[in-house]
Amino acid sequence: MAIKDIRLQQFRSYTDASFSFGDGVNIIVGPNGSGKTNLLEAILVAALGGSYRARDFDVLQRDTDWFRIDAHVVPEGVRTVKFMVLPRQSKTYEVDDKTYQRLTMHHMVPIVLFEPNHLLLLHGVPQLRRDYLDDILDQTVSGFTVFRRNYRRVLAQRNALLKRGKPPTVQELFPWNLRLSELGAVIARARVQLCEQLASNLTDVYKEIAQGDTVVTLEYLAKFPLDTYETQLLSKLESHLDEDIIRGFTAYGPHREDIAVRFDDRPADEYASRGETRTAILALKIIELQLLEVARGQTPLLLLDDVFSELDSTRRRALTGFLRRYQTFLTTTDADVVTGLAEDVSTIISLSR
């Protein structure tokens, strides 16, 4: 799929603006405050139906009570997202001349997003890495979203029992322990399989962008062997009940597991530079793009916000050359970075403050 053009009305900094795009790499260049990220956000809203960083009400221009986005999507046609505050707050979607109150996955255009906060993925808290995996699985594994939601619900119920004034008995917790173990095993196995898929191409993609020889590895750190995960997690939950009551939360399960990323067998969080970190995350995003394409049977869009920072000219050229096969939207504040990339770029959109 590809977006040929888009019109934004009363969305963020755009009162009424239209943009046309090429099928390959589109570079959006302009100073801070010129609306580059707002344009990326609008593309994402058109594709998925909602923003990754704000509520619908928050993307309205000041003193307005509606916004509208119209995008020409190939081969689908025109899709429209309309949000109105009055007479009652509502949002509608028009896809292929049909109106919907919400978009199902079937009607969403698959998208992979890189934004600056993703740079915390390798050095930040484990929850970021778990969410990263689960967000990919939500889009690529049928039914995973239900397992993920049910696991959170059961975990919350168990933690509520642990925190109540009267300590729970083994009998009270058994059904929650059992269900948590069953759901946890599904999640852990899905994450391990995904990590194996990511790891299989990570070094090759990293080397292609970095133009170097660094070996990058990724491994999911499951606490228990996958073939006996349910029984071992259940046993651990039961045998460590007293500790969980003292802590007031469940200390075992996939919600406490992590990923290990290494550069030449050294921990990324200790040894990777900012440039290496950025390149590794870009490599992961490209592999995510490929996995999503296979799972959905559609070519995803790639949105990269402020991606060129801390990449030298060699890595910039390698990245844009690699991405020519996908419709990609890149933002940058530095017009000079476009120099030398012309043969790999479909469209350059210049914005001013």
Q: What is the pLDDT of residue 53?
A: 85
pLDDT in tens, 194-219: 999 999 999 999 999 988 899 999 99
Helices (H), the chain: 36-48, 126-140, 144-163, 170-210, 229-239, 241-247, 268-271, 274-296, 313-322
Q: What is the pLDDT of residue 182?
A: 98
The kind and range of the H/E element at 29 are: strand 25-29
Compute the distance between CA of residue 264 and CA of residue 300 in angstroms, rounded to an integer: 31
Confidence check: pLDDT of 308 > 90: no
Enumerate domains of the chain plus CATH numbers.
Answer: 2-110+298-350 (3.40.50.300), 125-271 (1.20.1050.90)
Q: What is the pLDDT of residue 280?
A: 94
Q: Which of 45-59, 81-95, 123-137: highest mean pLDDT?
A: 123-137
Q: What is the pLDDT of residue 253?
A: 97
Confidence class of residue 103 from pLDDT cuts 50, 70 and 90? Answer: confident
- With a pLDDT cut of 90, the percent of the chain lying above it is 69
Q: What is the pLDDT of residue 89?
A: 85
Could you give the 3-state DSSP secondary structure of residue 48?
Answer: helix
Cβ-based burial of 32 (10 A; exposed 0-12, middle 13-18, buried ≥19): exposed
Mean pLDDT, the chain, rounded, equals 92
Confidence class of residue 353 from pLDDT cuts 50, 70 and 90? Answer: confident
Compute the distance between CA of residue 37 and CA of residue 12 in angstroms, rounded to an integer: 10
* Residue of 28 and 316 predicted with greater confidence: 28
Q: What does the radius of gyration of the chain's CA atoms come to, in whole angstroms?
A: 23
- The encoded tokens of residue 345 equal 């770029």
Q: What is the pLDDT of residue 116?
A: 86
Confidence check: pLDDT of 75 > 90: no
Q: What is the pLDDT of residue 66?
A: 94
Q: What is the pLDDT of residue 93?
A: 93
Confidence check: pLDDT of 343 > 80: no
Q: For residue 75, say if its preceding peptide bond is cis, omega within 30 degrees of 0.
A: yes
Contact call for residues 252 and 223 (beta carbons, < 8 A): yes
- With a pLDDT cut of 70, the percent of the chain lying above it is 100
- The encoded tokens of residue 284 equal 């992961």
Q: What is the pLDDT of residue 337?
A: 78
pTM above the 0.75 mark? Answer: yes
For residue 196, give the nearest of 152, 253, 136 by alpha carbon: 136
Which amino acid, one-letter code, is at 35?
G
For residue 234, give the nearest of 181, 183, 271, 167 by alpha carbon: 181
Confidence check: pLDDT of 339 > 80: no
Q: What is the pLDDT of residue 300?
A: 93
pLDDT in tens, 227-239: 999 999 999 999 9
- Determine the length of the chain: 353
pLDDT in tens, 143-175: 999 999 999 999 999 999 999 888 898 899 999
Q: What is the pLDDT of residue 232?
A: 98
For residue 274, give the nearest of 265, 264, 285, 263 by alpha carbon: 263
Q: What is the pLDDT of residue 341?
A: 79
Report the 3 state secondary structure along 288-319.
HHHHHHHHHCCCCEEEECCCCCCCCHHHHHHH
pLDDT in tens, 255-299: 999 999 999 999 998 998 888 999 999 999 999 999 999 998 989
The β-bridge partners of 27 are 330, 348
